Structure 1
Amino acid sequence: MPECNHCGAHVSDQFARVFADEYGHIRACPNCSANAGIAEVSKERAHEA
């Protein structure tokens, strides 16, 4: 089951297909970031890693 690499929360397969990077990492989810900013937060966290 896919999970957020930032907070460990479970996410759906559909969410993972949309927001995971090319390595399958999900750096932001609805549990640890605002829904409207998931893509932006994910990019910021990927840049910081």
Structure 2
Amino acid sequence: MAKCDHCGAHVSGRFARVFADESGTILACPNCSANAGIAEVSRDRAGNIR
């Protein structure tokens, strides 16, 4: 089962396919970010890692 790499919460395979980056990393999920802003939070967190 997939999990958020930021908070460790479990996410569905469908969520992982949509929101994971090209390496399979999930940087945001409904547990640690607002539903409406998951893509934006993921981009922001990815920018801070690299």
TM category (shorter chain) comes to over 0.9
Q: How many residues align?
A: 49
- Structure 2: 5+ residue stretches without partners: none
Identity %, equivalent residues: 73
Supply the distance in 2 between the matched residues of 1:23 and 1:42 (Cα, whole angstroms): 13
The one-letter amino acid of 2:2's match is P
Cα RMSD, aligned residues only: 0.3
Structure 2 length as normaliser, TM-score? 0.97
For residue 8 of structure 1, report the CA deviation from its aligned partner. 0.1
Q: TM-score, normalised by structure 1?
A: 0.99
Distance 1:29 1:21 in 2: 13
The CA distance in 2 between the partners of 1:36 and 1:24, in whole Å, is 21
Structure 1: unaligned runs, 5 residues or longer: none
Alignment match, 1:29: 29
Which structure: greater strand fraction?
A: 2
